[in-house]
Amino acid sequence: MTKTIFVVWGDDLPTSLRDRGLHARLAAAGVRRLQVNIQDEHIAGAMRIDHLDEPIAGFVTVWDVEAAPVAEVLRTVATSVHAYAVDERRRLDPPESWDGSRADALANVAVLRRPDELDQAEWLRRWMIDHTAVGIRTQATFGYIQNIVTAPLTDDAPRIDGIVEELFPSAAVTDIHAFYGSGGDDAELGRRIDVLMASVGRIGADRQIDLVPTSRYLYALG
């Protein structure tokens, strides 16, 4: 099963990406399952980090369909669209309902770049093997999906090497203990942050990262 993630920029995307008319055009382009991750009012106040000069507005994910026709449809509502083929690794399967309802979660999407000092094999080993357990153990994630970027599919696409989807309890938008699962214990919170940040640094995710808090919506289009 092929998976493509589109990174999108533009105004009013929380409305336009969820519009039924757009979904009908995407269905005509061959999309059968659609995932929309977008910044909206539900995650206002959540921490974000921007590496790119133009902050990412959201993400659109599709499966088993050619990227070019989908990108063409998305450009009718977005000012910029870039597509990436990815190899998905589902470490913690989140609850999923494909009826267009919003997931009851803070859905963070982290955009990663491999540091120059690590070759691809070593970077993947550190990320896929070493870091995975640390990330799950030190945070209150109940959904954890890693996407290795295998190729950019649009011209002049910004460099992206990995995309991580993490779902946290909704309270994590404003409560750091809810984010880390530390139960209100400040000492435990500090320990978890220290362990996580050390691991993050080993894969280069302490720099050149975009961290985009989103709401997550899933649609079955046909």
Q: What is the CATH number of the domain that holds 107?
A: 3.30.70.100
Beta strands in the chain (DSSP E): 3-9, 33-38, 58-63, 80-92, 99-102, 106-112, 143-152, 162-168, 210-220
Provide the number of structural domains found in the chain.
Answer: 1
Q: What is the pLDDT of residue 1?
A: 79
Q: Which residue has the tokens 């961290």?
A: 211
Alpha-carbon span 32 to 88, nearest angstrom: 18
| pTM to 2 decimal places | 0.96
Tens of each residue's pLDDT in the chain, 222 residues: 799 999 999 999 999 999 999 999 999 999 999 999 999 999 999 999 999 999 999 999 999 999 999 999 999 999 999 999 999 999 999 999 999 999 999 999 999 999 999 999 999 999 999 999 999 999 999 999 999 999 999 999 999 999 999 999 999 999 999 999 999 999 999 999 999 999 999 999 999 999 999 999 999 997
The pLDDT tens digits for 161-205 are 999 999 999 999 999 999 999 999 999 999 999 999 999 999 999
Residue ranges making up the domain that contains 146: 3-220
Alpha-carbon span 34 to 154, nearest angstrom: 19
Backbone Cα Rg of the chain: 17
Q: What is the pLDDT of residue 4?
A: 98
Secondary structure element (H or E) that encloses residue 156, with its range: none
**What DSSP designation does 95 have?**
P
Q: What is the pLDDT of residue 17?
A: 98
